[in-house]
Structure 1
Amino acid sequence: MEQVRLVPWAEGDFWLLRRTNSPEMTDHLGGPETEEKLRDRHRKYVEPESGRMFRVVLADGGETVGSIGYWERPWQGGLVWETGWGILPEFQGRGLAARAARTLVGTVRQAVRETGGHRSLHAFPSVDHPASNGVCRRAGFTLLGTVDFEYPKGHRITSNDWYVDLDAYVDADVDADLA
């Protein structure tokens, strides 16, 4: 089983934003963004106000396979962490996104322990995106139900609200190793 590492987003990672800005990769996200929006997004990734973005790399060899991150979002009268990811097409279907999501949950849990913060992490994939919903399921998220969601701004979609209680999360891979 291939393992992944999360590498904090850096100035030189703009190429990855361009690479994932294809119709194929943004089909469930409202479509490709303009160059200006990509540059704004990159700046937010390099200098986040909250949360953090990462490149997902193969543990053996260090090849970049995609990105994942978490950021603060107002949700149902409070603030939560939200996560999202994108795995490059040539690496999809290998379980890398689910492994990256499990790794990210551990990273967020550690950050919350060290600096405080929200106790829940949510993902909001479109109900019409079976791959991302499968990632949530395999990564140990709990499905809370469907919600009306806006992404990008001005674009309404029906999404699933997947949730992780950061205090109670148990990584299935770790548990399997202990059994």
Structure 2
Amino acid sequence: MPDVTLLPWSEDDLDLLRRSNTHELMDQLGGPENDEQLRARHERYLRMWREGTGFQFRIVIPGHPEGVGTIGYWRRDEEGVPVLEAGWSVESEYRGQGIAPAAVVAMLDVARAAGETLPVHAYPRVDNPASNAVCRKAGFTLLGEVDFEITPGLILHTNDWVVGLADRPLA
């Protein structure tokens, strides 16, 4: 697996969001955001850290301290049951190098070390073979297909993958 480091989201990471705000990277989430939406997401990531409700990271590889992608997990309720949800994105030029699976495994290790015990779900679209492969490589189990509302009014047909934090990744 590639050498990845996860650094906590900081004030300096807005540019990373801007670099990731491309049609190719954001098509799975409804398309690119305008600057106001990007700033709001950046502030949400910072607020989640302060409140302890979620943890977003910059994915760093050797030679690229500015980051090559983002990854994080946050708390939410699934039909009244608390769970963690995870999401990630790797910039186009760094895809296909094993960075995303390595970052997911590292994120799961960070969550375990932080004492998290809730199951971690990921919801890639069913037509996103790369993200579904990341889930498989990182040790998630496919529960099935679901229609998932990622933002109010935006429902995507996704796969529901889950991993228990007591489970060890297969990657």
Under a length normalisation based on structure 2, what TM-score does the superposition of the two structures give? 0.92
Deviation of the 1:130 alpha carbon: 0.6
Take 2:75 and 2:37, find their aligned partners in 1: how far apart are those partners?
A: 19
Structure 1: runs of 5+ lacking an equivalent: 174-179
Which residues in structure 2 correspond to 1:94-173 (within 5 Å)? 94-112=97-115, 117-167=116-166, 169-173=167-171
Q: What is the aligned counterpart of 2:56 among 49, 53, 56? A: 53
Contact residue 82 and residue 118 of structure 2 kept, 8 A: no
Q: How far, CA to CA, are the matches of 2:74 and 2:41 in structure 1? A: 12
Q: CA deviation at 1:62?
A: 4.2
Distance 2:77 2:36 in 1: 25
Paired residue type of 2:32: P
Pairwise CA RMSD: 1.3
- Rg: which structure is higher? 1
Task: Tell me the residue number matched to 2:9.
Answer: 9
Q: Does 1:77 align with 2:76?
A: no
SS at 2:114 equivalent: helix
| Percent identity of paired positions between Structure 1 and Structure 2 | 47
Shift of 1:153: 2.0
- Within 1, Cα distance between the matches of 2:16 and 2:68? 9
Matching residue of 2:28:
28
Q: How many residues align?
A: 167
Q: Which residue of 2 aligns with 1:67?
A: 70
1:121: Cα distance to partner?
0.5
> Which residue in the other structure is 1:177 paired with?
none
Following superposition, the deviation at residue 47 of structure 1 comes to 2.3
- Tell me by how many angstroms 1:171 deviates: 2.9
Instruction: Tell me the amino acid that sits aligned with residue 172 of structure 1.
Output: L
CA contact (8 A) 1:80 1:118 kept: no
SS in 2 for 1:80: strand
The secondary structure found in structure 1 opposite 2:158 is: strand
Q: Is the 8 A contact 2:6 2:106 kept in 1?
A: yes
**TM-score, with structure 1 as normaliser:** 0.88
Q: Is the 8 A contact 1:146 1:161 kept in 2?
A: yes
Segments of 4+ in structure 1 off by > 3 A? none
Q: CA deviation at 1:79?
A: 1.4
Whole-Å Cα distance in 1 between the matches of residues 64 and 18 of structure 2? 20
1:119 alignment partner AA: L
Name the CA distance, whole Å, in 2 between partners of 1:172 and 1:130.
18
